[in-house]
Structure 1
Amino acid sequence: MTPLTPATIPPPFARYAHGVHVAPGHALIATSGQLGLAMDGTIPEGAEAQAALCLANIDAILAEAGAARDHVIRLNAFVTGREHMAGYMVARDAWLAQVTSLPASTLMIVSGFTRPEFVVEIEALAAVPAEAR
């Protein structure tokens, strides 16, 4: 996987790549959008805590397929207001801190989720090379 960040366009705003090239021979893994819902049914308060839980859930889904966050090629995130962007970005940047090949990333503001307590939802697309499977 090769990050695509052309010098002819402005650099990314944060820790992500403008695009990612995936060579042939990779298996794709797509996650559903993950909400900040713990196994015991609790929902942490605040965007950063919810995003951290969403990303931990994505880690578990990736592990189930023999993948890891290094294989993520795209993150799509949704927050319910601009006030939640910073908390999401702190959690995302911490989650990506040790990742060397950064994924493409989109962050959107939406009107809401299934329950008003949810303020963040994150989905991922990963590509695992054949030799890693």
Structure 2
Amino acid sequence: MELVTHSPGDGVYPPTGDYAHAIEVRGAERLVFLAGTMGLDPSGVPGATLDDQLVLIWSNIRVILASAGMTVDNIVRLTSYLRDASYAGANAKARVEALGGRVVPTTAIVAQTLDSEWLIEIEVTAAS
């Protein structure tokens, strides 16, 4: 599988350093779509803070991807749902760290989650 990042320099606004406008996936044999993944521990209890939930979310994403024989290196698209816009910086920092600085197309949306204790939810698309 080959990933080609597309972030044109002319005719569209430039992306910030933590995301790409698009990724072209060539030669993929499998796609995995993760449901919105929350910062819950294995017993379903949310982390006490935003940072705790971000750690749990990325741990949960790694476990789910591993069940499909994939890692965070297979992530090609990501959408974050934040309860508050002020969470954007911490979310971006956690994403960049989790992906080892690799940029992917990403969207962050401020939305009300189903439970007020769920501060963030992340949806992922992965390919191999």
TM-score, reference length from structure 1: 0.85
Equivalent residue, structure 2, for 1:109? 110
**Alpha-carbon offset, residue 88 of structure 1:** 1.2
Equivalent residue, structure 1, for 2:19? 16
**Alpha-carbon offset, residue 90 of structure 1:** 1.8
Give the fraction of aligned pairs with identical amino acids, expressed as a percent: 27
The separation in 2 between residues aligned to 1:60 and 1:40, in whole angstroms, is 15
Q: Which moved more, 1:116-125 or 1:87-96?
A: 87-96
The separation in 2 between residues aligned to 1:26 and 1:10, in whole angstroms, is 32
Structure 1 unaligned spans of 5+: 129-133
Q: What does residue range 75-114 of structure 1 map to in structure 2 within 5 Å?
A: 75-97=78-100, 99=102, 102-110=103-111, 112-114=112-114
Distance 1:54 1:33, change over 3 A: same
Q: Is the 8 A contact 1:73 1:103 kept in 2?
A: yes
Q: Deviations over 1:19-52 (max 9, x none)?
A: 0001134310000000110013331133232122
Q: Deviations over 1:93-129 (max 9, x none)?
A: 2112254xx221000001x21211111000100110x
Structure 2 unaligned spans of 5+: none
Q: Deviations over 1:69-107 (max 9, x none)?
A: 1111000100011121122122112112254xx221000
The separation in 2 between residues aligned to 1:33 and 1:23, in whole angstroms, is 25
Q: Is the 8 A contact 1:33 1:121 kept in 2?
A: yes
Equivalent residue, structure 1, for 2:9? 7
Partner secondary structure for residue 125 of structure 2: strand
Give the aligned CA root-mean-square deviation in angstroms. Answer: 1.5
Instruction: Determine if the alignment matches structure 1 residue 27 to structure 2 residue 37.
Output: no
In the alignment, residue 37 of structure 2 is paired with which amino acid? Q
Partner secondary structure for residue 121 of structure 1: strand
Equivalent residue, structure 2, for 1:131? none
In the alignment, residue 121 of structure 1 is paired with which amino acid? E
The separation in 1 between residues aligned to 2:33 and 2:16, in whole angstroms, is 24
The separation in 2 between residues aligned to 1:14 and 1:122, in whole angstroms, is 20
**Which structure 1 residue ranges, 4+ long, deviate > 6 Å from structure 2?**
none
Length, aligned pairs only: 125
TM-score, reference length from structure 2: 0.88
The separation in 2 between residues aligned to 1:19 and 1:103, in whole angstroms, is 7
In the alignment, residue 20 of structure 1 is paired with which amino acid? I
